[in-house]
Amino acid sequence: MNITRMDDIVKAVKLKPKKRLSVAFANDSHTIEAVSNAVDLGIVEGILVGDEKCIKDICKKENIDVNKFKIVQEADEMKAANLAVKLINDGEADFLMKGLVSTDKYMRAILNKETGLLPPKATLSHIVVMELAKYPKLLIVSDAAVIPYPDLNQKIQITNYTINVAHALGIEQPKVALITATEQMSPNMPSCVDAAIISKMAERGQIKGALVDGPLALDVAIDKECVAIKKLNSLVGGEADCLVFPNIEAANVFYKTSVKFAGAKLGAILVGAKCSAVLSSRGDSAETKTYSIALAALTSK
């Protein structure tokens, strides 16, 4: 299936066996509405961990049939997050979603060394898949929310994570752009040095399943005209599927600019753990959360 829009992700998930979603502290209307949409679309079974009375009150107010969910009672925010993670580890759910629980507590539950979801030596990272009206395909972007200043080894893992997500979207050989401020190799700019190392690793087969190039400035990564004007020789330039940013500031500004100024549609997930986990803002729309659920379902094993 050719996946070029966010709605295509939902269609692709429908073709796969239904996944079980564990929601940490599902005490807000946007989360419940998104899970309800996903259940109605036939892509998940919803397990809501939270205060049962609150969940039922929200369902009644929003005219949502509460019987379509399994509710697991836990009124405490941190305990609800830990219980939602436990359902994954116990094999009772396939992937995770953040509800009204604060991000720090959600992350704490995932990263707990004894009861969490992160394998040894793995790096938890954040990936956004976005649809922009002026770009002909989906963009896979990392890391806008988790790792402030990834070192070289973390950037290598993040690059591999974006490749894995691209493969899940049906892109056999994704084009990965390692973004810096310039496409020129500047030894005084650490992000350029890291990008050049990772690019050379991919060239020599140490990173597989993609075409990887960097350093690349954002304009030459996504605009063929800029590539021609600058006479850049790149197999990725102008056609990037994945953008790996050098730090959280650059990625986060790109992410929010794309949403606020360009009206991007998107889904956001955490990768690197035992399963994909939906990480969206408490203020995100039900549509964004529904897309995030679909993306997590598609990328979960």
CA-based radius of gyration for the chain: 19
How does residue 91 score in pLDDT terms, banded at 50, 70 and 90? very high
How does residue 189 score in pLDDT terms, banded at 50, 70 and 90? very high
**Each residue of 145-183: pLDDT tens digit?**
999 999 999 999 999 999 999 999 999 999 999 999 999
pLDDT at 206: 97
pLDDT at 133: 94
Q: From 1.10.3680.10, 3.90.1150.10, 3.40.718.10, 3.40.50.880, which CATH number describes the 125-260 domain? A: 3.40.718.10
| The CATH number of the domain covering residues in 6-121+273-299 | 3.40.50.10950
pLDDT at 283: 65
Backbone angles phi, psi at 279, to 5 degrees: -125, 100
pLDDT beyond 90 at 2: no
Cα separation of 49 and 46, whole Å?
10
pLDDT beyond 80 at 1: no
Question: What Cα–Cα distance (Å) separates residue 1 from each residue in 8, 10, 14, 199?
Answer: 8, 12, 12, 29
- Domain ranges for the chain: 6-121+273-299, 125-260
pLDDT at 287: 86
**Alpha helix (H) residue ranges in the chain:** 6-14, 29-40, 52-61, 77-89, 103-111, 152-168, 190-203, 218-222, 224-229, 248-260, 286-299
How does residue 282 score in pLDDT terms, banded at 50, 70 and 90? low
pLDDT at 73: 97
Backbone angles phi, psi at 200, to 5 degrees: -65, -35
pTM for the whole thing?
0.93
Average model confidence (pLDDT) across the chain? 95
Mean pLDDT of 30-52: 94
